[in-house]
Each structure stands twice: as structure tokens, then as C-alpha cells.
Amino acid sequence: MAAYSLPRHGPDLLSFVSHRADRSKIRFATQQKTLQANRIPVDISMNPAEFPRPDGHWEEGRAVRNNIEGLFLGISLVYLVVGMSLGIGMGVAEDFTYAHLHAHINLVGFVAHGFFGFAHRLWPGLRQSALAIPQLYLTIIGTPIFLIGIPLAQFQAQPLLAIVGSLMLLASALLFLVIFAVKERRMQSLA
């Protein structure tokens, strides 16, 4: 915290207090401008001590944390293209054997990843959680395991991958619930 020196325009308590309030207003406005300039949505649950640096980065070398919403959204759009292509393929072939796979590519791949990405975009404070990176990896690794497991379970009676993948995805959902709940509590304590 910056050292505070008494204002020059008078040592009386009233001017001291108003001078101090002015300074914190200016500091707050500067932070808001920095966040807006970097197109970072303002999230009141963020701990001011952990505000992003003016270049928009959170910590040196933490590329994954910095780009967490980009990773989620990029992966989500890849799943959307794959899921839609499979849907069109099924329609053209008039063979709906892979309808469950198609549905889960779209719902777990596109919708869930997209939801996590948008949530991180809307509330940048979420990524500060120690659970944010484990939650990301559980999702991006658990999803392909689960998706490969669906046809194996459906056609080969080998449910192992589907079980492992689905448990990883459940853990990912639980972690996100915890991350979100902690953020909400922090917001309420600041409101």
C-alpha cells in the first residue's frame, strides 16, 4: 500500500478525510479505465490486491489462467462443428446409430465448454480460484474420454471409459459449483 502523507491544504480532520476519499475515487476510476481499456469486464468480487496488471495479464507466465475463457470457447466451437457435422452425416445417411454420441458432443462438448467459457468471461474473478485450472483440465480431458466411451459402452459392452469420463465431468461440475459459490459469497460480503 502506498504511504500516505498529510494534505497540504490543511491538517483539519474534514479536509483530511475528503482528500483521502478523493484519492481513493481517483484510484478506483483509474482501475476501471484500465479494465475497460483492456476489455476486461469489471467483477466486483475481484480482490483489488489481485487486479490484473495494466497489460491485462494476471501473473507472469500463467498463460492458461490468462486465456481460460479463450480455451473453453475455442474447444466448445470445435465440438460444435464436429457435432453438427455428425448430425448432418446421420441425416444424409439416414442412419441414427450415433445419435447419442452426436447429442453428447453437442451438449457436453459445445454447451458445457461454452458455458464455462462465458462464465469466465463474465466474471474474471473466477479464474483466481485455485480450483480453476484443475476444473479446466478435468473438463477438457474428461470430455474426450467420455465421448469415446459412449459408443464403446453402447456397441461393445465396454463401459469403463464412459464411467471414468463421466465421473471426471461430474467432478468438474462440482468444482465449478464450488468456484462459483465462493465467488458469490465474496460478492455478498463486498455488497
Stretch that binds ligand HEM, among 15-23, 46-54, 90-98, 181-189 (CB under 6 A): 90-98
Closest CB to ligand HEM belongs to which residue? 87
Stretch that binds ligand HEM, among 15-23, 71-79, 91-99, 131-139 (CB under 6 A): 91-99
Q: How far apart are CA 66 and CA 45, in angstroms?
A: 17
CB atoms < 10 A from the CB of 142, how many?
A: 21
Pick the binder of ligand HEM from 6, 29, 42, 88 (CB under 6 A): 88
183 binds ligand HEM (CB under 6 A): no
Residue identified by cell 459402452 is: 153
Q: How far apart are CA 191 and CA 187, in angstroms?
A: 6
Q: How far apart are CA 49 and CA 34, in angstroms?
A: 15
Positions in 3-42 near ligand HEM (CB under 6 A): none
Do residues 134 and 175 touch, judged by C-beta distance below 8 A?
yes
**Minimum CB distance to ligand HEM smaller for 52 or for 109:** 109
Q: State which H helix or E strand residue 135 sits in.
A: helix 132-156
- Which chain residues interact with ligand HEM by CB under 6 A? 83-84, 87-88, 90-91, 96, 99-100, 102-103, 106-107, 110-111
